[in-house]
Copies of this chain bind each other. A is one copy, B any other.
């Protein structure tokens, strides 16, 4: 039957080259999630999960000290142009509602948020985070769902038990903003995590709005020394249990992962998450493979997320060069988006996605032919490749300024061709 849902699934099936029947099976067991709140009419659906190409998310949003809606919309367009599959609006400030709605209305890709930020913002302004009410949190979540937000991060697995490990063992405590809000509230009120305690209510709300839950890792390690530690895995075990409850309730669920961890722990982290969380999509925030490269964390993160993707992570959160230093500007967003796209694409080659392999093959052929325009059109960031090339090469010659006439590709081909001709002549 040509329902709207079937049209969407048929399109995804074709784009991803996954048979429709297999896609439906993967969705029904939760291994693939379709991000689309029906109220977000401006957006196409985005499918994340098993056997699909690796997706990337780009974080945007104003902050109380740097707030310019127009700039955020520019960032949104740049991110989408460069291949962002989803956007998260992480805004903080008095104009959160306006920014979120503007982004939703302008975005043709699904949009996610972290509602706890908004719930905390008003009380925190008065330095009274402990006064945040549970009802306030759910009110914000419902508002976001009504606005059309497609997925929300909820740090449901951060429990009092897990916090004990943070307190005892950690160098850098809690670095997730949502996690720190909840932890601070839990300390002040001597209560359990309200999103954990009221998880059934959350599931009900999510189902009602066809809202996907992204179970956040509020205890993700913020430094190499805290990577893959007891607090992190305690939270992950809880997230696994909550994932099962979401699956049973028929709610779309994905799970978020670290953070800062050493390179050789990345694959292990993906495998443990996949196992404990019933193979639902894994949304990875980094991982950053070292702490000491502020200004270049799009690169430390691309290293980690490429390995994670190749190991089975489904969804990569891009990190910009401004990470750990301040709010990203337009150029940071561009750089971060492409870095995430590189990681996702490198992972897709490993996952064996034919479209990905084909694109690299075509690039190799364009290089063989020294066909620059074809190379630009196949590049992940065509504009940048073209700009750099034209800046460095003012002449109309075939090679580039790297080698001049001593272009390796040209020298080898001419040698081989001459040899082939001579062989023909002899035969």
Known: A187-B419, A222-B367, A401-B66. A392 touches B327 (CB 8 A): yes
Q: Are A416 and B176 in contact (CB under 8 A)?
A: no
Q: Are A224 and B360 in contact (CB under 8 A)?
A: yes
How far apart are the CA atoms of A345 and B378 in the complex, in Å?
A: 32
How far apart are the CA atoms of A412 and B222 in the complex, in Å?
A: 12
Number of chain A residues whose Cβ lies closer than 8 Å to a Cβ of chain B: 110
Using Cβ atoms and an 8 Å threshold, which residues of chain B touch A268? Answer: none
**Residue A405, interface by CB 8 Å:** yes
Choose from B364, B380, B392 the contact partner of A226 (Cβ within 8 Å).
B364
How far apart are the CA atoms of A389 and B332 in the complex, in Å?
A: 13
Q: Are B392 and A188 in contact (CB under 8 A)?
A: no
Using Cβ atoms and an 8 Å threshold, which residues of chain B touch A64? Answer: 404-406
How far apart are the CA atoms of A298 and B306 in the complex, in Å?
A: 14
Cβ-closest chain B residue relative to A345: B290
**Residue A402, interface by CB 8 Å:** yes
How far apart are the CA atoms of A156 and B117 in the complex, in Å?
A: 61
Q: Which of A386-424 contact B (CB under 8 A)?
A: 388-389, 391-393, 395, 397, 400-406, 408-409, 411-416, 418-419
How far apart are the CA atoms of A324 and B174 in the complex, in Å?
A: 42
Using Cβ atoms and an 8 Å threshold, which residues of chain B touch A414? Answer: 184
The quantity of this chain's copies bound in the complex is 2
How far apart are the CA atoms of A188 and B421 in the complex, in Å?
A: 11
Q: Are B290 and A342 in contact (CB under 8 A)?
A: yes
Using Cβ atoms and an 8 Å threshold, which residues of chain B touch A349? Answer: 224, 262-263, 289-290
Cβ-closest chain B residue relative to A393: B326
Known: A291-B363, A349-B289, A408-B179. A263 touches B188 (CB 8 A): no
Q: Are A173 and B413 in contact (CB under 8 A)?
A: yes
How far apart are the CA atoms of A123 and B185 in the complex, in Å?
A: 76
Mask: chain A, 61-77; 1 = CB below 8 Å from B; 0 = not: 00111100000000000
Choose from B65, B302, B307, B364 the contact partner of A223 (Cβ within 8 Å).
B364
How far apart are the CA atoms of A303 and B326 in the complex, in Å?
A: 25
B-binding residues in A (CB < 8 A): 63-66, 92-93, 117, 120-121, 124-125, 129, 167, 171-177, 179-181, 183-188, 222-226, 262-264, 289-296, 298-300, 302-303, 306-307, 310, 321-322, 324-327, 329, 338-339, 342-343, 345-347, 349-350, 357, 359-361, 363-365, 367-368, 375-376, 378-381, 384-385, 388-389, 391-393, 395, 397, 400-406, 408-409, 411-416, 418-419
A-B contact pairs, 28 of them (CB 8 A): A64-B404, A92-B403, A129-B415, A172-B368, A174-B412, A180-B408, A180-B409, A180-B411, A183-B415, A224-B361, A263-B306, A263-B346, A263-B349, A264-B310, A291-B367, A292-B359, A293-B345, A293-B381, A295-B381, A296-B338, A299-B302, A303-B343, A325-B385, A326-B389, A326-B391, A326-B392, A326-B401, A327-B392
